[in-house]
Amino acid sequence: MHPEKIVFTYQGDGDLASIGAAEIIHAANRNENITVIFVNNAIYGMTGGQMAPTTLPNQVTTTTPLGREIITGAPIKMSEMIATMDHIAYVERCMAADGPSIMKTKRAIRKAFECQINQEGFSMVEVLSSCNIGWKMSPVDSLTYIKNTMTQTFPLGVFKERKHETNH
Amino acid sequence: MKPTIKLICAGFGGQGVLSVGQLVGLCGIELGYDVSWMPSYGPEMRGGTANCHVVLSESSQSPFIGQDMTHALLMNDAAFNKFKPLIKKPENVIIHTGLIHQDYPGCDFSVLAHEHHLDKSMNMIAFGMVVKSLGWEQSLGLKVMKKKFKGLSDEMIFNNEKAFLLGFTYESV
Amino acid sequence: MSKLLMKGNEAIARAAMLGGCEAFFGYPITPQNELIETMSHVMPANHRVFVQAESEVAAINMVYGAAGAGGRVMTSSSSVGIALKQEGISYCAGAELPCVIVSVSRSGPGLGGILPAQSDYHQSVYGGGNGDYRVIVLAPASVQEAVDDVGKAIQLAEKYRNPAMVLLDGAIAQMMASVVLPTQPLPRVDTTSWAATGDFKTRGTRNVINSLYLDPAKLYAHNQHLQAKYREIAKNEALLVDHHPDHHDGAIIAYGTSAKIAIGAAQRLKEEYGIKVKCIQLRTLWPFPKQALREAIKDMSFALVAEMSMGQLFQDVLAFTRSDTVIGYVGKAGGEIITSDDIVNGYLQQMGGEQIEHSV
């Protein structure tokens, strides 16, 4: 519908990596000309801090009270997984941890939309974000946690960039 | 049959009104009542207000939420305006006089707590006043606090008890 | 037998574990989160299975698998999540697998809201899965009743090899109440004749869990077998509670939270207006206590249905009672909790025969 319109989704890790995992993989595989903003804070924030598929090893959540064990799965790396699809336009993982990283995220999101406007196909920006309440940290500590801890499991970077070839 | 007690505790989130309600519920269990504690949850809470209905009854069939409350602890203006009309007897209402400028029993919990360096235990002053107004023993309040606060630091437990006693013995004008 | 002050969700989880639940599969959704959160620690701590599934669909299919292997299994969710589970519930019913589904309903339709409602009456009683199947639906009105119903659901599920649901609304799940938890695991029904346990060699017969019958004659026979079982359940298990056996002027018919509020309303009608109205609380929604309800209201000129939905229960009461008694309706939905004023006013307004608009 309305192929001339800009379409984007704004999804959390529970939605994109858990209950909606099948849908995102097939939307990417069809190379839908949409932009996905994937907010990864390694926890279910809205429902009150349960384990997400992206929860880090040993991270305490309300459903992993003793810390996440491997039996519940390892943190799913959605950007890497989506980037294995040959035809898609653009996948980058950024973080929202300080001024420079937020500016970088802004540029990545801009680039993702440009891909869509140029009819290059599916683009996704994963943004490592904080949930200080769910993580039971101060806001400042949670930003440090993104920088020092989350990025160990979820390395930043561009995972896919298929430059300037239109889709159609 | 003991009369049914229906208490509403309401105020800002963070004032500790939900905990006061739970402690009253625990007292009720000690006294052999059937107890329910019904909190507000969901979008109502996101406006910064919190409340709970506590019903202590000898019958397990008492409705756990109602429009005819017997007692109230009201900690801000919005709570006062919303819940005051549900209480028949004004002497059964306790208000935070620092935030509600009305002629009802109560005290300025913030000032009193601050004067005694008990800022974090402000709600326990309120709990003390509630226990007193319900005609219960001081020892009952201390007993349920001991159960509820098991695991907290000694300092916190000490301060909570001090605050409770302050409230229990407070003479409201 | 000491009384504890505990949140509904937590009490249900602990009651299931203490009742002998061996495996729990869930997914976060408000307002049942504390249920899976409690399960996430009490189950592993007692050497039972807890899995946070990737979705509600996955969770109910895990239930199918674990129940098929003979386990005592439970899942829980809320409205939207229960909607997703419907296919799996139909499979469990088709394969005759005992399992317990706790449904903590919130307001709808769609994503709706997270506050309490009873708008999942149709969803629970009639289901959204395919085929002629039935799910036993128990409707508690307090935390203690919810705890008791979890145990009862486990037993009924195993007795009849059928899914059993405990349907409550978010109010009961979110409130704290004084509660006594079970102390003993419930007795186990022998499952060796049907459970797929990988013991073909020692047993000598093959146990197959299946709901697929391509031969229409066999599938028809299977359906007849299921119907016979459902008739048996309907005969034995339908239940209501008459809270005012000595009141005969009229009745308020309700379940769950609405029933609790109706008890207070009946009291007020007596004290303030001198009308002796009984509150009839439906304890099972399927099987619907048709016979007992008909009996209870047969000499009354008026009975009022009170529900936190737009006439779903009202329509069934109308259909199942088929008497000269005029049936009225009072209800709310969308997360608004029905009040005793609503019920008292609704009763007084309609007892004279005034018709009001209700759902179509």
**pLDDT-based confidence at A166, cuts 50/70/90?**
low
ipTM: 0.90
B17 contact partners, CB below 8 Å, separation of at least 6: B9, B10, B11, B50, B51, B52, B73, B75, B123, B126
Task: Give the H/E segment covering residue B7.
Answer: strand B5-12
Chain center to CA of B103: 19
Chains B and A touch (3+ CB pairs under 8 A): no
Note the pLDDT tens digit of each residue in C107-144. 999 999 999 999 999 999 999 999 999 999 999 999 99
Per-residue burial over A48-64, b = 16 or more CB atoms within 10 Å of its CB, e = otherwise: bbbbbbbbbeebbbbbb
Interchain proximity A62–C27, CB inside 8 Å:
no
Query: Does residue A20 have a pLDDT over 90?
Result: yes
Q: CA-CA distances (angstroms) from residue C259 to A161, C168, C351?
A: 60, 12, 19
Contact B64 C175 (CB under 8 A): yes
Q: Which of C11, C27, C285 is nearest to C174 (CA)?
A: C11
What does the block give as tokens for A12?
């959390």
C263 CB neighbours in chain B (<8 A) are 61-63
C180 touches chain B (CB under 8 A): no
The yes-or-no verdict on residue C82 having pLDDT over 90 is yes
A13: closest chain C residue by CA: C54
* Predicted confidence band of residue C358 (pLDDT cuts 50, 70, 90): low
pLDDT of B60 reads 83
User: pLDDT value at position B59?
Assistant: 86
Cβ contact (<8 Å) for C174 and B29? no
**C10 at interface of A, judged by CB pairs closer than 8 A:** no
CATH pick for C240-350 out of 3.80.10.10, 3.40.50.920, 3.40.50.11540, 3.10.450.50 = 3.40.50.920
Q: Which whole number is the average pLDDT over A88-117?
A: 98
Domains of chain A: 8-161 (3.40.50.970)
The pLDDT of residue C359 is above 90: no
Which CB contacts under 8 angstroms, 24+ apart, belong to C269-277?
A: C269/C344, C269/C347, C269/C348, C272/C344, C273/C344, C273/C348, C275/C249, C275/C250, C275/C347, C275/C351, C276/C244, C276/C246, C276/C247, C276/C248, C276/C249, C276/C250, C277/C244, C277/C247, C277/C249, C277/C250, C277/C251, C277/C252, C277/C347
DSSP state for residue B69 in the 8-state scheme? B
Q: Which of C31, C177, C263 is opposite residue B61, by nearest beta carbon?
A: C263
Interface of C with B in 97-136 (CB under 8 A): 113-115
Pairwise CB contact (< 8 Å): C54 & A53 = yes
What pLDDT shows up at residue B66?
A: 74
From chain A, pick out residues whose CB is under 8 angstroms from the CB of C60.
Answer: none
pLDDT reading at C355 higher than 70: no
Is residue B48 pLDDT above 80, yes or no? no
Residue A132 at interface with chain C, using a CB cutoff of 8 Å: no
Q: How close C209 comes to chain B (CA, Å)?
A: 41
Query: Would you say residue A147 has pLDDT above 80?
Result: yes
Quote the minimal CA–CA distance from B170 to chain C in Å.
Answer: 28
Contacts of A62 in chain C (CB under 8 A): 33, 37, 40
Asked if A48 and C33 touch (Cβ cutoff 8 Å), the reply is yes
pLDDT band at C228 (very low <50, low <70, confident <90, very high): very high
pLDDT score at A163? 75
Task: Provide, as residue numbers in chain A, all residues whose Cβ is less than 8 Å from the Cβ of C56.
Answer: 19
| CB pair distance less than 8 Å for B64 and C260 | yes
Q: How confident is the model at residue C181, as a pLDDT?
A: 97
- Residue B171 is predicted with a pLDDT of 82
Enter the DSSP assignment of B2: P
CB-CB neighbors (< 8 A) of C334 in chain B? none
This prediction has a pTM of: 0.94
Contact map slice: A 9-48 vs C, CB within 8 A: 14, 18-19, 21, 44, 46-48
- Tell if the CB–CB gap between C171 and B64 is shorter than 8 Å: yes
B13 confidence band (pLDDT: 50, 70, 90): confident
**Would you place residue C357 in the very low, low, confident or very high pLDDT band (cuts 50, 70, 90)?**
low
pLDDT tens track for A43-61: 999 899 999 999 999 999 9
| End-to-end CA, chain A | 16
Write a three-state SS string for chain C: CCCEEEEHHHHHHHHHHHCCCCEEEECCCCCCHHHHHHHHHHHHHCCCEEEECCCHHHHHHHHHHHHHCCCCEEEEEEHHHHHHHHHHHHHHHHCCCCEEEEEEEECCCCCCCCCECCCCHHHHHCCCCCCCCCCEEECCCCHHHHHHHHHHHHHHHHHHCCEEEEEEEHHHHHCEEEECCCCCCCCCCCCCCCCCCCCHHHHCCCCCCCCCCCCHHHHHHHHHHHHHHHHHHHHHHCCEEECCCCCCCEEEEECHHHHHHHHHHHHHHHHHHCCCEEEEEECEEECCCHHHHHHHHCCCCEEEEEECCCCHHHHHHHHHHCCCCEEEEEECCCCCCCCHHHHHHHHHHHCCCCCCCCCC
Interface partners of A (3+ CB pairs, < 8 Å)?
Answer: C
* Over residues B13-42, mean pLDDT: 92
What is the architecture of the domain spanning C4-197+224-237? 3-Layer(aba) Sandwich (3.40)
> For chain B, which residues make up each domain, given as ranges?
5-168
Structure confidence at residue B172 (pLDDT): 65
Does residue C143 belong to the interface with chain B, where contact is any CB pair within 8 Å? yes
Q: Which one-letter DSSP state was computed for residue B163?
A: H
What per-residue confidence (pLDDT) applies to B44? 59
Amino acid of residue B71: H
C28 to chain A: which residues are within 8 Å by CB?
A: 14, 44, 47-48, 50, 63
Topology given in CATH for the domain delimited by B5-168: Pyruvate-ferredoxin Oxidoreductase; domain 3 (3.40.920)
Q: Is C31 on the interface with B (CB under 8 A)?
A: yes
Q: Where in chain C is the domain with CATH 3.40.50.970?
A: 4-197+224-237
Q: What is the pLDDT of residue C197?
A: 94
Indicate if the pLDDT at residue B14 is higher than 90: no
Q: Is the pLDDT of residue A168 over 60?
A: no
Three-state secondary-structure class, residue B5: strand
Are C178 and C7 within 8 A, CB to CB?
Answer: no
Mean pLDDT for all residues in chain C: 95
Residue of chain A whose alpha carbon sits nearest to that of C29: A47
What does the pLDDT average to over C136-161?
98
- Choose among B14, B19, B24: nearest CA to B39: B19
DSSP string computed for A8-65: EEEEEHHIIIIITHHHHHHHHHTT-S-EEEEEE-SSBTTTTSB--TTPPTT--BTTBT
Cβ within 8 Å of A, C 21-40: 27-30, 33, 36-37, 40
Chain C residues closer than 8 Å to A44 by CB: 28
In this predicted structure, what is the pLDDT of residue A164?
A: 63
pLDDT at C188: 94
Residue in C30, C114, C175 closest to B36 by CB: C175
Instruction: For chain C, say whether A53 makes contact (Cβ under 8 Å).
Output: yes
Residues of chain C with CATH 3.40.50.920: 240-350
Q: Which of B27, B173, B17 is nearest to B106 (CA)?
A: B173
Distance CA B52, CA B155 (A): 28
Predicted confidence band at C71 (pLDDT cuts at 50, 70, 90)? very high
**Lowest-confidence segment of B77-81, C76-80, C231-235, C351-355 by average pLDDT:** C351-355
Distance from CA of C28 to the nearest CA of A (A): 7
